[in-house]
Amino acid sequence: MRLCEAAFGGLRVYDGNDFRPGAVRGLPPRYADYLTTTSDQPGPGGGSQRALRGENVIRVIDLMEEDRYRAGHPSPRALVDLGGARSAVVVALRKGSAFLGTITIYRQEVRPFTDKQIALVQNFAAQAVIAIENARLITETREALEQQTATAEVLQVINASPGDLASVFDAMLEKAHRLCGADTGSLQVYEGEISRAVATRGLSEEHANRLRQGFRRGIAHPMNRLLDGADFIQVPDLSEIDDPLMRIGFQAGGIRTYLSVPLRKDDRLVGRFVAGRREVRPFSDKQIGLLQNFAAQAVIAMENARLLGELRQRTEEVAALVEFTCANRIAFLPLKIGFGRLLYDYGLPWIKIVCQQIRGCLPCQIAFTKRAFA
């Protein structure tokens, strides 16, 4: 701005859907106040929109003579009437074919920027692109490390408490919501026609109790699409869904954006991860993928718990049979032979199958072997 003799200016970053301010400098006070009360998204025909459509440099000799100002569009009206802007230049930020945003500088008089000044802004724009890319790479590296750490912590909980689903689900919900920026949510199991929450986070007591008691889905409930095979369901604004339970989430919990990710075992729906935000701000593809990863871990934890339950039951049955055999010493020898045949024909193949299914859980195999053959 100083080298180009500009009065004020700013850098806008484009996230694929909207423009957001990256940096501003020298804003007139009245125009700065205006910007705090409006999102001020560029309208059709504005410099930022023209840059988005492919132009690299947009020169404006006099903003007051532009069609958008004459038509009374709020954004250029505020820029001129409150900010005093007259001449302007907009330079696009691009990395290859990807559009990243714009740098815009203004003068409070009708005095167009020279070619040399515009070239200088383009040079600064190239440096800004490098800085934005470096920041993106650093952010992605940090996010990847956080996700790996969270995944490892959840796996530790699963290994430490293989049969305690409550602690596993609570840990999953906490990690998933922290990494995805969710305000509320739950982890639910689906049994027959009933959905029931086994872990909740950030919900009102009324809403959480309703989910823990179990509920049947309504005709308009988003879960119906999961039953039809959808990979996930995202509702940008929950207030638009006409369903009794969704209405509770919106009215009592203030939930606006809603995301539901299925838990599937052999293509069968066994539950779902639910995340919500108290603002209309959809989850990104990366955040949805992260929740899908946690959903896969939840399915593994549920299957491990089921197998451990079967192991305990079978172990108790074998132990009871051994106790009964030892107590009836008169018929000890025939029963001993019979028990050996039972163990050979039934027990060993079953143990082999179960151990194959939980081969990733070595502590479970060791514990079962000790109990079964002590």
Cβ neighbours, 10 Å, residue 146:
14
What is the spatial distance between Cα 108 and Cα 30, in angstroms, rounded to a whole number? 14
Q: Which of 318, 240, 91, 273 is nearest to 173 (CA)?
A: 273
What is the spatial distance between Cα 42 and Cα 24, in angstroms, rounded to a whole number? 16
Residues 227 and 339 in one domain: no
* pLDDT 10s digits, 27-47: 999 999 988 887 666 767 788
- Domain, as residue range, for 13: 8-137
Residue the block writes with tokens 């069609």: 67
Provide the pLDDT for residue 162.
62
What is the spatial distance between Cα 68 and Cα 129, in angstroms, rounded to a whole number? 29
Three-state DSSP state, 171: helix
In a domain, 197, yes or no: yes
Residues 174 and 286 in one domain: yes
What is the spatial distance between Cα 219 and Cα 237, in angstroms, rounded to a whole number? 18
Q: Pick the last residue of a domain from 273, 298, 323.
A: 298
Q: Which of 11, 19, 22 is nearest to 102 (CA)?
A: 11
Check: CB of residue 176 under 8 Å from CB of residue 260: no
- How distant is the alpha carbon of residue 373 from its chain centre? 46
Residues 347 and 221 in one domain: no
Crossing angle of helices 348-357 and 362-373, in 10° steps, is 160
Mean pLDDT of 273-292: 89
CA distances from 346 to 130, 226, 339, 340, 342 (A): 67, 39, 10, 10, 6
Out of 146-155, 197-206, 320-329, 347-356, which region has the weakest mean confidence (pLDDT)? 347-356
Out of 133-137, 287-291, 330-334, which region has the weakest mean confidence (pLDDT)? 330-334
With 60 as the cut, is the pLDDT of residue 169 above it? yes
Residues 130 and 214 in one domain: no
Q: Which of 270, 226, 271, 220 is nearest to 250 (CA)?
A: 220
Residues 6+ apart with CB under 8 A from 278: 183, 184, 253, 254, 255, 256
With 70 as the cut, is the pLDDT of residue 367 above it? no
What is the spatial distance between Cα 351 and Cα 343, in angstroms, rounded to a whole number? 10
In a domain, 3, yes or no: no
- How distant is the alpha carbon of residue 361 from its chain centre? 28
Residues 212 and 230 in one domain: yes
Residues 288 and 316 in one domain: no
Residues 34 and 126 in one domain: yes
Q: How do strand 184-191 and strand 194-201 relate by DSSP bridges?
A: antiparallel
Alpha-helical segments (H) within 199-284? 205-213, 223-227, 244-251
* pLDDT 10s digits, 121-131: 999 999 999 99
Residues 6+ apart with CB under 8 A from 238: 246, 249, 250, 255, 256, 257, 258, 276
**Secondary structure (DSSP) of 39-72:** --PPPTTSHHHHHHTT-SEEEES-GGGSHHHHTT
Q: Pick the last residue of a domain from 281, 298, 315.
A: 298
Share of the chain above pLDDT 90, in %: 26
Note the residue count of the chain: 374
Q: How does DSSP classify residue 88?
A: E
Mean pLDDT of 344-350: 51
Provide the pLDDT for residue 262.
92
Most confident segment among 6-10, 35-39, 159-163: 6-10
With 70 as the cut, is the pLDDT of residue 371 above it? no
Q: Which of 151, 154, 153, 184 is nearest to 260 (CA)?
A: 184
* pLDDT 10s digits, 58-105: 999 999 999 889 988 888 999 999 999 999 999 999 998 899 999 999
Residues 6+ apart with CB under 8 A from 280: 236, 237, 256, 257
Check: CB of residue 298 under 8 Å from CB of residue 263: yes
In a domain, 2, yes or no: no
The structural domain count of the chain equals 3
What is the spatial distance between Cα 28 and Cα 227, in angstroms, rounded to a whole number? 55
Residues 91 and 13 in one domain: yes
Provide the pLDDT for residue 99.
93
Residues 245 and 366 in one domain: no
In a domain, 156, yes or no: no
What is the spatial distance between Cα 182 and Cα 164, in angstroms, rounded to a whole number? 25
